[in-house]
Amino acid sequence: MSPPPDTTLNPLQPLKFLLPIPIKLPELFSSLMKGFVAICIVASISLISFSTFSTRQWLDSSDIDLINPSPNPTIQLGNTNNGEDNTNISHILFGISGSAKTWDQRRQYSELWWSHNVTRGFVWLDKEPAGTWPATSLPYRVSANTSQFKYECSYGLRSAIRIARIVKESFELGLDNVRWFVMGDDDTVFFTENLVGVLGKYDHRQMYYVGGVSESVEQDVIHSYTMAYGGGGFAISYPLAAELVRVLDGCIDRYAEFYGSDQKIGGCMSEIGVPVTKELGFHQVDIRGDLYGLLAAHPLAPLVSLHHLDYVQPVFPGLTRIDSLKKLVQAYKVDSGRALQHTFCYDLSRNWSISVSWGYTVQVYPSLVTAKDLETAFQTFVTWRSWSQEPFAFNTRAMSPDPCQRPVIYFLDRVENAESGRTQTSYKRFVAEPGKECGHEDYAPALAVNFVNVSAAAFDLATWTKVRNLSFVQFQFH
């Protein structure tokens, strides 16, 4: 590698440098193997620097030095088709729990992802709604009476029984061509293209129970580590649903002391003998405060769902909860598989570290930060139940109150399709407290960067089902 040039940022002279890129490798889990996929998430980044001369300066770079390990064969995670067509959205039947009283306040979440005449399913209510049903909402059904069942959890609600039986009532509708039953809450936002991709990895003719656990360890301890949490959503394959329907009502009475519907379903799954298959993209969001740290260091897995969005701050500052979600969904619709995918690199000419969560945020550190730190979420939140600083089901690191110990943060400004199957996203610098930025000399060049542009190739959703060799990525600074 050639020696780095002078690190002084001259706004009138373009700089050239080499970037060694450590590629984070996602883990793709199955019951039989683990694999690794090299996610080549960013093809080029442009840093726009505004100088005191009011001149926009583009920093121009060469390509990248990257250590490539010895070749490994491509491995397919099983053939789940066997002559059948691939799983698509029409094969999924959604069962969403809701109530007639709160639907008008909650429906805005499901209306973000529901597509009429495309997605299939119902919101299941406790009684007939008053007035005219909104045309923008998904269709509804009214749950059957559950007064004959026992409920013995002193701090819970009997509605858990009704919600647990949604999968049974959905199955008993007898709709054609259903491979998966997906359960969720009325405040769950699903990212359906990614959900289809995740479920497509599994053979729907076998018994599968797919979902995620809570982010707060206290919730996992109280309820279970071995169940899929209902707010984040979970999926049950048709054969497993058939068996679950057979035993569910008895299970509900046997687990009368269990708090929630998902806990009752989990108990039934234990009796059937099918463990939960955990997918990291299902998010219960059992945290409070600011979701930023988690979304900025999202695990390398497709974003499938978000929940409890009324209990965290809007994901984009300065917007309402719904408007900020619309902005996130806008990026997702441009390139669904790449949404929130996390990568980072180093600019050795300035000793900068750059972290990208595609479609959401960019962080620029005017220092060299270890890969371990860059992949670890900032703790911008507290636990769900006790509002404590810990513990969580994933590693976190402190977000210092000192601006000189924080990265320079950028949020998504715009996203668009570019030429040759690429996308272009632009991120604008966010100033939390004007006048309280870091005054250190080494921060000045980073603070002079007001926008970061990221260009990337369209993401191939099939990547999540394969193990591939490490690939080369190119970054360009203009």
Specify if 22 maps to a domain.
no
Domain boundary among 253, 278, 303: 278
The Cα–Cα gap between 184 and 192 comes to 12
Verify that 249 and 391 share a domain, yes or no. no
263 and 126 fall within a common domain? yes
- Let me know if residue 214 belongs to a domain: yes
| Same domain, yes or no: 349 and 458 | yes
Phi, psi of 33 (to 5 degrees): -155, 165
Q: What pLDDT does 436 receive?
A: 84
Same domain, 449 and 346: yes
Task: Tell me which residue of 407, 403, 410 sits closest to 433, measured CA to CA.
Answer: 403
**Residue 392, pLDDT score:** 87
Residues 122, 270, single domain; the answer is: yes
Q: Can you list the alpha helix ranges (DSSP code H) found in 335-452?
A: 371-374, 444-447
pLDDT at 223: 80
Q: Does the residue 18 lie in any domain?
A: no
**pTM for the structure as a whole:** 0.82
CA 300 – CA 310 distance, rounded (Å): 25
Q: Is residue 76 part of a domain?
A: no
CA-based max dimension of the chain: 78
Long-range CB contacts for residues 127-134, cutoff 8 Å, separation at least 24: 127/100, 128/100, 129/100, 129/103, 130/100, 134/104, 134/107
Looking at the fold, whether 202 and 272 belong to one and the same domain comes out as: yes
User: Domain tally for the chain?
Assistant: 2
Decide which of 248, 278, 308 is a domain's last residue: 278
Residues 363 and 257 placed together within one structural domain of the fold: no
Check residue 326 and report its DSSP letter.
H
Predicted local distance difference test score (pLDDT) of residue 463: 82
Domain annotation covers residue 23: no
Residues 96 and 172 in one domain: yes
Mean pLDDT by 10 residues, the chain (478 residues): 35 29 31 28 43 30 28 32 79 97 95 96 96 95 97 95 98 98 97 96 97 89 88 97 97 96 96 96 94 95 96 96 97 96 91 95 96 94 86 91 93 91 93 86 92 90 62 39
Domain boundary among 278, 307, 336: 278
Secondary element (H or E) of residue 299? none
Which residue segment(s) compose the domain that 140 sits in? 89-278
| Torsion, CA 103, CA 197, CA 242, CA 109, rounded to 10 | 0
CATH of the domain at 261: 3.90.550.50
Instruction: Identify whether 109 is part of a domain.
Output: yes
Query: For residues 264 and 244, is the Cβ–Cβ distance under 8 A?
Result: no
Distances (CA, A) of 71 to 4, 18, 74, 301, 468: 30, 24, 9, 23, 9
Q: Are residues 161 and 241 in the same domain?
A: yes
Task: Confirm whether 62 is domain-assigned.
Answer: no
pLDDT given at position 461: 83
Is residue 260 located within the same domain as residue 329?
A: no
Confirm whether 364 is domain-assigned: yes
Let me know whether 103 and 238 are in one domain. yes
**208 plus 354 within the same structural domain:** no
Give the up-direction half-sphere exposure of residue 141: CA atoms within 13 A in the CB hemisphere.
20
